[in-house]
Amino acid sequence: MVFANVNVNGQITLPKEIRKKLDIEPGSTVEIVEKNNGRFEVKKAVIIEAESLKKLAELAKRKGITHAELVKACREIGEETYAAEYGD
């Protein structure tokens, strides 16, 4: 078990061993996801360039894929990629 302190500004410093496991470096963005029973999951966020997202949306539209379907597929792929990279 690893502990982290909260400072007066509400900020938490992730311990080095956690940053190393998640490949978090200064300037990285993390995603905090609420899970069941008041638990939260911290993971490194994947940032995609806006231009790439626009191209993906255009392609999906041409293929008849709805926005909801595209978002669902991206979320599933992201979860699979994260699980393969870091375990679940």
Give the chain's domains with CATH numbers: 1-47 (2.10.260.10), 49-88 (no CATH)
23 phi and psi angles, rounded to 5 deg: 55, 45
- pLDDT, averaged across the chain: 88
Tell me what pLDDT residue 18 has.
92
Distance CA 51, CA 2 (A): 39
- Model confidence at 26, pLDDT cuts 50, 70, 90, reads very high
Nearest to 27 by CA among 18, 37, 19: 19
Tell me what pLDDT residue 88 has.
60
DSSP string, the chain: -----B-TTS-BPPPHHHHHHTT--TT--EEEEE-GGG-EEEEEPPP--HHHHHHHHHHHHHTT--HHHHHHHHHHHHHHHHHHHH--
> First-to-last CA distance in the chain?
17
